[in-house]
Structure 1
């Protein structure tokens, strides 16, 4: 008969010293789909405008050559130009992956390092762990929903930790908040 070790003889699990959370940036499927739709729509408007100007159908559907160049074809060209500029911006944001980064909680060094990728530079915020007073779970539903984790830091505004954009499911938000509060040894607020 095998013996089962008692709880006292089992080695205590070492508490983690570093907790690192990856934060998703703008390189998401929803953003890629929006950029693709804007690009296709802009190309359609530009081809419609060019068809109107040249008097030849450059699109396989409809008869854009039948449009009068001024004002219809010209306005279509302006819409196409605006869509092309917007698509360029969206693809640049996706390519750079703006907002991606990490939250690194290091108990050994006694600091929190929040990094995010911006347009031209890497943004870093460093805070001593002893200044963190609580982990906040913010949930606001309605027309502009918000679900995020933030840290209440002594002498500063709340420091958001989660990604911007798509709301995080409540179960995941509460689990991440509880895990972080347990790791830091601070209370969890807003649940």
Structure 2
């Protein structure tokens, strides 16, 4: 959630905050962890099924995988297990690194906006002057692939997204966050 801290400079207005920071949630979400656990469990299950077929011994407590023929069922189960283990390794790495997390920082005192995100191998940082921000844009698209996104309309550039990727944010939170940011930056709010 956004946090606002007032500036300590004596020349600033005492009631107006000079700094707005919004934390952005990355890939460390419950939904991602559940998917990674399911893929990992499935990969181990396929691997045990493949090994049971090869060794002729039931390594799983359910079913009778030892009765499967090694060629082709055991080999196919082994290929599935390899794919699932590779996918789960990727998922756990992304969760461990918390890819996509970061901070949106708007500093009126320095007249600077800094957007930082954790990439796969490095931090990504975008700095831009506050005077280049023309509007705060709220984008809502419903349907099969819904999108609820808050972005900055920047002079001479593409829109700069501010919200997390993945599961959609509730409309109330999106509108409230957009209105708070537009009020702070003294720019119009578009898309509502």
Shift of 1:128: 0.4
Counterparts in 2 of 1:1-191, with a 5 A limit?
A: 14-191=15-192
RMSD: 0.8
The count of residues paired between Structure 1 and Structure 2 equals 180
Counterpart in the other structure of 2:7: none
Structure 2-normalised TM-score?
A: 0.93
Shift of 1:68: 0.2
Moved beyond 2 Å, runs of 4+:
none
Q: Structure 2, unaligned stretches of length 5 or more?
A: 1-12
Counterpart in the other structure of 2:4: none
Shift of 1:13: 5.3
Structure 1-normalised TM-score?
A: 0.93
Q: Structure 1, unaligned stretches of length 5 or more?
A: 1-11
Counterpart in the other structure of 2:6: none
Task: Supply the distance in 1 between the matched residues of 2:133 and 2:88 (Cα, whole angstroms).
Answer: 40
Task: Supply the distance in 2 between the matched residues of 1:86 and 1:99 (Cα, whole angstroms).
Answer: 18
Q: What secondary structure, in the 3-state scheme, does the structure 1 residue paired with 2:144 have? A: coil
Q: What secondary structure, in the 3-state scheme, does the structure 1 residue paired with 2:36 have? A: helix
Once the two structures are superposed, residues 76-122 of structure 1 have per-residue CA deviations (whole angstroms, 9 ceiling, x without a partner) of 00000000000000000000000000000000000100000011100
Q: What secondary structure, in the 3-state scheme, does the structure 1 residue paired with 2:139 have? A: strand
Task: Supply the distance in 1 between the matched residues of 2:77 and 2:67 (Cα, whole angstroms).
Answer: 13
Shift of 1:14: 1.4
